[in-house]
Amino acid sequence: MFGSSLAIGSDILDIGSSKFDRRNDERAIGSGAMMPPSLTLGDPGQFEIPNVADPAHFCRNNFASACGNSDQGQSVKFAKGTTTLAFKFDGGIIVSVDSRSTMGAYIASGTVKKVIEINPFLLGTMAGGAADCSFWERNLGMQCRMYELRNKKRITVAAASKLLANTMSSYRGYGLSMGTMITGWDETGPQLYYVDDDGTRLHGRYFSVGSGSTYAYGVLDTYYRPDLTVEEAIDLGKRAIYHACHRDAMSGSINNLYHVTKDGWVKIHAIDVNDMHYEFLEEKQNAMSS
């Protein structure tokens, strides 16, 4: 059995910092060999590991992100829920998401920002594990900025999505949980890609990701047209998220909607879906009475 003072440092986040240099200096011994630093449970900036004989085996069997009933015997079930969607039309791209974060029946937060603003012309969405999506899309933002500095031009949406897909492919099988959309405007016009945790990368006109995506797809399949006006497109993105939140208990709270044009993205609104419910209910009642 391992002792009670085990932790794994977040070295990858410290590389290049003075903290990393000091830690390396502390590891050096007379012959120049390296020795592990002292590990302290609960030390800030470090990850604790289970106090069991085989931590990796324990994590695989109790904390895996699984689909269907394959996590039935786990101590913690990663039952996630969200609704995100994006679609291209003649006036640009609409990105519409909810803001609820859940773990099974527990609502952890109602104000999660599920649209990652990678740069002024590029957006990413979050579905799956919040930490995985947030970290790797911020990492993508860094890679995109490095590309701009090296090549003196803005990265294309296709290239940005490929960078993320390559990263996901290199971590395939490590338990990441991500279903993202990378969208924006480049010299080829509006572009939209879907990228997930096994490295799948798809190009399309519209996508919806998350537990409420089937309901959102129902609305999109019925009312989507490439020649929508900007007002119609905004209303479609708003209604699709509302109906998904109304039917899917794991989605809800605030609808955040963005419009991407050749001049960059603009946040259109952040509306409580409860307010949308009464707005659409009144609209339905008026339509039935007329």
Report the b/e string of 224-257 with b at 16+ CB within 10 A: beeebeeeebbebbbbbbbbbbbebebbbbbbbb
Question: Of 21-35, 45-59, 96-110, where does mean pLDDT reach its minimum?
Answer: 21-35
Mean pLDDT, to the nearest integer, of 152-175?
A: 93
Going by the DSSP 8-state scheme, the letter that residue 205 receives in this structure is S
Integer CA distances (angstroms), 235 to 94, 152, 182, 219, 239, in order: 10, 37, 21, 11, 6
Q: Do residues 8 and 49 lie in contact, with contact meaning Cβ atoms separated by under 8 Å?
A: yes
CB 261 within 8 A of CB 185: yes
> What is the amino acid identity at position 220?
L
Please provide the average confidence, as pLDDT, over all residues in the chain.
84
257-264 average pLDDT score: 96
Helix (H) or strand (E) holding 113: none
Candidates 53, 12, 52, 46; CA nearest to 37 is 46
Known catalytic membership, residue 167: no
d(CA 237, CA 255): 9
**Residue 17 pLDDT class (50, 70, 90 cuts):** low
Nearest to 177 by CA among 207, 138, 136: 136
Give pLDDT, residue 103.
Answer: 76
Name the active-site residue from 82, 83, 102, 180. 82
> Is pLDDT of 2 > 50?
no
- What amino acid is encoded at 251 in this protein? S
User: In this predicted model, which residue has the larger pLDDT, 3 or 51?
Assistant: 51
Q: Which residue in 177, 127, 186, 120 sits closest to 159, CA to CA?
A: 186
Structure confidence by residue, pLDDT tens digits, 210-235: 999 999 999 999 999 999 999 999 99
How sure is the predictor about 88, in pLDDT bands with cuts at 50, 70 and 90?
Answer: very high
Residue 9 has pLDDT above 80, yes or no: no
Token pair of 24 as six digits = 């390396």
% of the chain residues with pLDDT over 70: 76
With bands split at pLDDT 50, 70 and 90, how would you rate the model's confidence at 5? very low
Show the tokens assigned to 140.
């993508």
Considering only 22-36, 144-158, 223-237, 257-271, which range has the smallest mean pLDDT? 22-36
Label residue 130 by pLDDT band (50, 70, 90). Answer: confident
Residue 238's pLDDT is 96
Instruction: Dump pLDDT digits (tens) for 56-76.
Output: 777 777 766 655 566 667 766
Q: Return the pLDDT at 1.
A: 44
